[in-house]
Amino acid sequence: MGGYSSSLDDILEEDIYVDQVFFTFDMDGDGYIDFVEYIAAISLLLKGEVNQKLKWYFKLFDQDGNGKIDKDEMETIFKVQRIFLERPQITALIKREIVNLIYERVDVHGEGELTLEEFISGAKEHDDIMEMLGKMMDLTHVLQIIINGQKRTSSGSGQLKGETDAAWTKFITS
């Protein structure tokens, strides 16, 4: 029974994540991603400047829209990332430790919240955080869900998984 509950929680959190991605792409807030918004999103993900991508990542993490990312918001996004879902050995405690490491390095004022400026400068100052964000924010599966309205299987490219593992190992051990 516990496995069922955990799976249900994962599905609900993933739905929240997909909704958050959708709302960041729905620039005019009309509840639809029109062609122009779709092209803008694809362009950002594929060719966007670093600052543009970091601003979008920030907006994705800032679930309540208050202009700051608290630890719970960051941890919620981490919970539904494929790199975590594919690695059950990464427990909630380890995810919390990763979030704490990020905040130790980036939260300049020690408030437990990151402003846009702290987030961008912190990511730029710490190559391992930037690399981790880049690997973590592979949104191919989310775009497929939005386009097709269905879930993708969890099997991923071995190369991407290996690259992601290397990024996490580098981040955690630095």
Does residue 119 surpass a pLDDT of 80?
yes
Interaxial angle between packed helices 50-61 and 116-125, expressed in degrees from 0 to 180 and rounded to the nearest 10: 130
Does residue 3 surpass a pLDDT of 70?
no
The pLDDT of residue 121 is 95
The pLDDT of residue 170 is 53
Does residue 138 surpass a pLDDT of 80?
no
Confidence at 106, pLDDT banded by 50, 70, 90: very high
DSSP secondary structure, 6-74, as one string: HHHHHHHHHHHHHHHHHHHH-TT-SS---HHHHHHHHHHHHH--HHHHHHHHHHHH-TT-SSEEEHHHH
What range does the domain containing 116 cover? Answer: 2-173
**Domain containing 80 — which CATH number?**
1.10.238.10
Does residue 107 surpass a pLDDT of 80?
yes
The pLDDT of residue 108 is 86
Cα–Cα separations (whole angstroms), residue 152 to 27, 50, 62, 144: 25, 28, 25, 7
Number of domains in the chain: 1
46-73 pLDDT, tens per residue? 788 889 989 988 998 898 999 999 999 8
6-52 pLDDT, tens per residue? 555 555 666 777 777 788 888 898 988 888 988 888 888 778 888 99
Question: Whole-angstrom Cα distance, residue 40 to residue 25?
Answer: 8
The pLDDT of residue 151 is 43
The pLDDT of residue 160 is 35
Share of the chain above pLDDT 70, in %: 60
For 101-122, what is the mean pLDDT? 92
73-91 pLDDT, tens per residue? 888 877 766 555 555 555 6
